[in-house]
Amino acid sequence: MTTTITTRVGIIGGGPAGLLLSHLLHRSGIDNVVLELRDLDYTVQRVRAGVLEHDAVELLTENGLGERLHTDGLRHGGIYLQFAGERHHIDFEALVGRHVWIYGQQEVVKDLIAAHDANGTPARYEITDARPVDIDTEHPRILFTQDGEEFELACDFVVGTDGFHGVSRLAIPEADRTTYEREYDFGWLGILAHAKPSSDELIYALHENGFALLSMRSPEISRLYLQVPPDENIDDWSDERIWDELDVRLGMPGWSLERGEIFDKSVTPMRSFVSAPMRHGSLFLAGDSAHIVPPTGAKGLNSAIADVALLRKGFVQHYAGDSSVLDSYSETQLSRSWQTQYFSTWMTRMLHTFSGPDATFDHQVQLGQLAQLVASDHAKAHLAEFYTGLPITR
Ligand code: RFL
Ligand code: PHB
């Protein structure tokens, strides 16, 4: 027997994109349900993004999600670029009058879950076999199983916020979608450590041994990354080897890295990916289900936030009788997504070491590029404008 539930917007995936969309719709009086594959603890424990753009923070704040962000988050007015043994500050405040916030994705998800609890609209966790059906009609449904019971969620719209490995994108017939993809021959080894951050702001470093990034989560927790081969075995990296290599790539005369207990380490492969269109009939895609960027530009979570902000606007207008925002959603967000792909690719190519016969030449070109960048206010403003974020329409 199948139990039918009725709502306006059915959301597959309870990561940051799905939970935020649900919260925004709830505040706008639009009934919705989030279906999440994993259990609640798993969704909170996933260690991922750390940088929130200017407009993303404004959106979260306007929607009742800014309290902890403003007390525990770290407001950063710039970043450092390091190469050829020198460290250069890129002052976002001075260049474009904007800033970013360091606040872990895990914390954003915790705040969203608290808001859902307060709203009385928790996601449905540990659902399996979610299948969007009838998406070519105005009465789509999501079939799913929970605790061995079959359900059908009857809705006006389905939104797929189920990430890169989700099922929503695959519900669009193959003939109707185009995939653009690029893999990199490196990944990032990332750690979290109980160590005071050794810098006031993030350091992006190009070194002959590879890229390194110093980031943080709080005044007591450091987040650090090293460029490594994509299939690198994490067991080959003892804590001491990680710290030693970070010292080599990030070290400067008179400056050393604060070490501490490493409590999380993992290797993430890198990819760029776009699936077009982001709408098919009554199915919309948002966040990582539609696009992935390499993390060098810190854009993944922010892009997911931008997608769902526009979707909320589109649904609100649709129920008020105007579908124009929903109708142009795919085109608008694909254009934004390609701009973000450009920035992420640019940052990635500028800051990582590449292998192959041209590697030595390419490394020198990167040094030339970086030298010009730090000498030019126009070039620095270009970086600052993108890093602090494209406008988020809301
Ligand atoms: P998520 O977070 O992958 O959530 C998708 C959710 O859908 C669920 N799901 C399903 N649910 C039901 N049925 C199914 N069949 C399902 N299949 C999957 C999953 O369990 C999950 O809960 O996608 P979302 O919400 O679109 O959010 C995207 C962000 O997570 C991602 O873009 C960022 O983490 C990327 N990223 C960064 N983004 C930034 O903006 N700034 C950063 O500084 C930044 N750093 C990073 C990053 C990603 C990283 N990794 C690990 C990929 C650093 C790293 C290392
Ligand atoms: C992070 O803190 O996890 C982080 C910061 C900047 C990036 C990517 C990840 O570009």
Residues 6+ apart with CB under 8 A from 37: 13, 126, 127, 128, 130, 162
Q: What are the chain's domains?
A: 2-76+100-180+271-348 (3.50.50.60), 184-270+356-388 (3.30.9.10)
What's residue 49's pLDDT? 87
Q: Is residue 337 within 8 Å of 290, Cβ to Cβ?
A: yes
Q: Mean pLDDT across the stretch 135-143?
A: 98
Q: Ligand 2, residue 49: give the atom nearest the CA.
A: 3
Q: Is residue 12 within 8 Å of 158, Cβ to Cβ?
A: yes
Q: Ligand 2, residue 216: give the atom nearest the CA.
A: 2
Residues 6+ apart with CB under 8 A from 56: 301, 302, 305, 306, 389, 392
Q: 301 CB less than 6 Å from ligand 1?
A: yes
Name the token pair of 65.
């999600």
**What CA–CA distance (Å, rounded) separates 252 from 238?**
23
Q: 167 CB less than 6 Å from ligand 1?
A: yes
What's residue 264's pLDDT? 95
Q: Is residue 256 within 8 Å of 246, Cβ to Cβ?
A: no
CB neighbours of residue 194 within 10 Å: 12
Residue-wise pLDDT for 322-357, tens only, equals: 999 999 999 999 999 999 999 999 999 999 999 999
**What CA–CA distance (Å, rounded) separates 143 from 154?**
9
Residues with CB under 6 A from ligand 2: 49-51, 202, 215, 223, 295-296, 298
CA of 299 to the centre of ligand 2 (A): 9
CA of 156 to the centre of ligand 1 (A): 25
User: How many percent of the chain have pLDDT more than 70?
Assistant: 100
Residue-wise pLDDT for 7-63, tens only, equals: 999 999 999 999 999 999 999 999 999 999 999 999 998 888 899 999 999 999 999
If you count them, how many residues does the chain have?
394
Q: Ligand 2, residue 298: give the atom nearest the CA.
A: 10
What's residue 47's pLDDT? 85
What's residue 66's pLDDT? 97
What's residue 46's pLDDT? 87
Burial class (CB in 10 A: 0-12, 13-18, 19+), 149: exposed
Q: Mean pLDDT across the stretch 58-83?
A: 98
What's residue 101's pLDDT? 98
Instruction: Identify the residue whose C-alpha is closest to ligand 1 atom 41.
Output: 298
Residue 267 has pLDDT above 90, yes or no: yes
Point out the ligand nearest to the CA of residue 102: 2
CA nearest neighbour of 208 among 243, 258, 245: 245
Name the token pair of 359.
């590697």
Amino acid at 318: H
Q: 9 CB less than 6 Å from ligand 1?
A: no
Instruction: Identify the residue whose C-alpha is closest to ligand 2 atom 2.
Output: 50
Residue 80 has pLDDT above 90, yes or no: yes
CA of 205 to the centre of ligand 1 (A): 25
Instruction: Identify the residue whose C-alpha is closest to ligand 1 atom 54.
Output: 48
Q: Mean pLDDT across the stretch 258-273?
A: 96
What's residue 275's pLDDT? 98
Q: How far is CA 147 from CA 15, 106, 127, 129, in A?
A: 21, 27, 8, 12
Residue-wise pLDDT for 193-245, tens only, equals: 999 999 999 999 999 999 999 999 999 999 999 999 999 999 999 999 999 99
Q: What is the pTM of this model?
A: 0.97
CA nearest neighbour of 345 among 394, 386, 301, 285: 386
Tell me if the bond preceding 197 is cis, omega within 30° of 0: no
Which residues are known to be catalytic?
76, 204, 295, 299, 387
User: Which contiguous run of DSSP H or E holds residue 307?
Assistant: helix 300-319
What value does the mean pLDDT of the chain take? 97
Q: Ligand 2, residue 48: give the atom nearest the CA.
A: 3
What's residue 48's pLDDT? 87
Q: 268 CB less than 6 Å from ligand 1?
A: yes
The separation between the first and the last C-alpha atoms of the chain, rounded to the nearest angstrom, is 41
Q: Mean pLDDT across the stretch 155-168?
A: 98
